Amino acid sequence: MLFKSLLAVAAAAVSMVVADDLPAIEIVGNKFFYSNNGSQFFIKGVAYQQDVSNSTDTSSFVDPLADADACKRDIPYLKQLSTNVIRVYALNVSLDHTDCMQMLQDNDIYVIADLSEPDMSINRDDPQWNVELYNRYTGVVDLFHNYTNVLGFFAGNEVTNEKSNTNASAYVKAAVRDTKAYIKAQGYRTIPVGYSANDDQDIRVSLADYFACGDYSDRADFFGINMYEWCGSSSYKTSGYSDATDDYKNLGIPIFFSEYGCNKVQPRKFQEVGTLFGSQMTDVWSGGIVYMYFQETNDYGLVSVKGDSVSTLADFNYLKSEMASISPSSAKSSDVSSTTVTSCPTSTSNWDASTELPPTPDDQVCNCMSDSLECVVDSSVDSSDYGDLFGEVCGNIDCSGINGDSTTGKYGAYSPCSPKDKLNFVLNLYYLDQDKSKSACDFDGSASIKKATTASSCSSYLKSAGTSGLGTVSGAIRTTSHTGITATGSSDSGSQTGSSSDSGSSSSSSSSGKKSGSAKLSVDVVARSLLVGAFVVVGSLVVIA
């Protein structure tokens, strides 16, 4: 009887959560809309993450959504600023975010989260999209997909920031593609995935076009630009907002300021707010995210926080006043009949990223390759010494099978693998090139011979890649989530509430608050989840009314 009573409480709690869920935000054309009524959604955002680390030794950043006391402290101030979106730059997937996410939902605040973190992101100087990054990105998705107040994810932030490193964008776009594919394969609701760029005059148009072009499965769902052109007293024309609006007026996906709020003139009076949400810009722009909530050494803060105490700064009151005075004109999703199809940028002196994207990282492919080798790096070799071995081996053989060139669009089949797997591959390649001479697998004790094994499931991968690794391997997007729940079924317009479609003249992406696809969970897991949810969720609901 007690168990039945607990289940009744759990069911009531779950029912209450579903009833109180914020409607998911969907994309139609170049705008955001509420999925429940089709009215336009404008981002009235604040960047919410501290720069300075006061975290544990195991983390290089402070996760703002894992501190329920801080969320309880700060959300009332965010609400004073009319905030409906916060941006968070790094999340710790080992921590619990339930309380903060529920408090944000109770206060009608959505979240746009960066998928990377300081020690795990795509490096513009040596760009890669590999298994480790793939696991990081999809791990964040697994942790947050069930919250309907997750508006979307950023797959990168200012990775390409000037014309000398435009090639890095191919790796970020591959991350967009694979994150979207993972979400679909898991049967999760459709959650938009986009990119946040800096405002470099030489490349900004090509950069936006690059992420917005191509098939729906490859392109970004939205584009953010970190915009700091309006400083002090300015205007639509003199600030550069007019030129930017003209530059992006034909972009086929939503665009917004992923950061704004120049601090060269202080206090910041945020006079740009009325223009950003005014009639000259709202047909192109979907709002923006003010940088930033916390006062740090960079002097962009809206508030100063000391322990449990919050002190508002001059910028806070100016922003509060400006946000309270806006009333942007709103479109309806039903009014959008077709959308602009964005053409990919051509190669120029300012733009050199191929539309051919790097392969999807797949640890099964990498494991198959590594298991099939005879000559591998010795276990005694420290990873810090791999560079010397790569240099020695690749000076004698062609290592294209582990490398990628995003300017030509040529990628080795094993380019997404870990450094150790890639080193194993080239060591073995050299060993084969030397007719398996024992001395060819030594390198002063840094390499050793092992027994090669090839599972039947690996044969097709290895055959496709070829001995040199220059072939094309089509690894499947994994359908096993990092939480241990296996999702089955596929997402498409006929089977899930959120849908996406693509045609020659229009595209649309929509999200709903309900998870679709079928998830196989044991009865005891469901029961335990319900019981935990009954107490955790009810408890968090009373934190902030």
In a domain, 514, yes or no: no
For residue 188, the model assigns a pLDDT of 98
- Per-residue pLDDT, 476: 54
Number of residues written out for the chain: 545
Residue 339: pLDDT band (50, 70, 90) is confident
Residue 130 pLDDT > 80: yes
Q: pLDDT tens-digit profile of 196-217?
A: 999 999 999 999 999 999 999 9
**What is the average pLDDT score of the chain?**
86
Residues 53 and 167 in one domain: yes
Query: Does some domain include residue 266?
Result: yes
pLDDT of residue 482: 55
Task: Flag whether pLDDT at 124 surpasses 80.
Answer: yes
Q: Is the peptide bond before 103 cis (omega within 30 degrees of 0)?
A: no
Residues 275 and 422 in one domain: no
Label residue 108 exposed, middle or buried (CB < 10 Å: 0-12, 13-18, 19+): exposed
Specify whether 209 is located in the same domain as 82: yes
One domain for residues 296 and 393: no
Active site residue 356: no
**Does residue 473 belong to any structural domain of this protein?**
no
Does residue 90 belong to any structural domain of this protein?
Answer: yes
Q: Kindly provide the residue ranges of all beta strands, DSSP E only, lying in 52-177, ordered along the sequence.
A: 85-88, 110-114, 150-157
pLDDT tens for each residue of 424-459:
999 999 999 999 999 999 999 999 999 999 999 999
Task: Kindly report the CATH number assigned to the domain that includes residue 438.
Answer: 1.20.58.1040
Query: Which element (helix H / strand E) includes 499?
Result: none
Pair 325, 421 in one domain: no
Q: What is the pLDDT of residue 473?
A: 82
State the catalytic residue, choosing from 132, 158, 374, 392. Answer: 158
The residue type found at 215 is D
Weakest mean pLDDT among 83-92, 277-286, 331-340, 388-397: 331-340
Among the options 26, 162, 229, 259, which is catalytic? 259
Using the 3D structure, point to which of 465, 483, 516 is the last residue of a domain: 465
Lowest mean pLDDT among 355-369, 406-420, 432-446, 509-523: 509-523
Residue 173 burial (C-beta neighbours within 10 Å; 0-12, 13-18, 19+): buried
| Per-residue pLDDT at 399 exceeds 90 | yes
**Assigned domain for 258 exists:** yes
Spell out where 321-458 has E strands.
375-377, 404-405, 410-411, 447-449
pLDDT range class, residue 507, cuts 50, 70, 90? very low
What does the pLDDT read at residue 543?
Answer: 33
* Residue 423, domain member (yes or no): yes
Q: Calculate mean pLDDT across residues 403-429.
A: 98
The answer to which of 48-52, 85-89, 540-544 has the lowest mean pLDDT is 540-544
**pLDDT number for residue 475:** 57
Q: How many domains are there within the chain?
A: 2
Q: What is the pLDDT of residues 453-500, one digit of tens each?
A: 999 999 999 999 999 999 988 655 544 555 433 333 333 333 333 333
- pLDDT score of 509 more than 70: no
- Given 335, 354, 375, the domain boundary residue is 335
Mean pLDDT of 325-338: 90
Half-sphere exposure of 345 (CA within 13 A, CB side): 24
Least confident span in 48-52, 105-109, 340-344, 539-543: 539-543
Task: Give the range of the structural domain holding residue 445, as residue numbers without chain letter.
Answer: 363-465
- Quote the percentage of the chain above a pLDDT of 70: 82
Is 158 noted as a catalytic residue in this protein? yes
Give the whole-number percent of the chain exceeding pLDDT 90.
79
CATH number where 94 lies: 3.20.20.80
Q: Indicate whether 166 and 118 sit together in one domain.
A: yes
Largest CA distance in the chain: 78
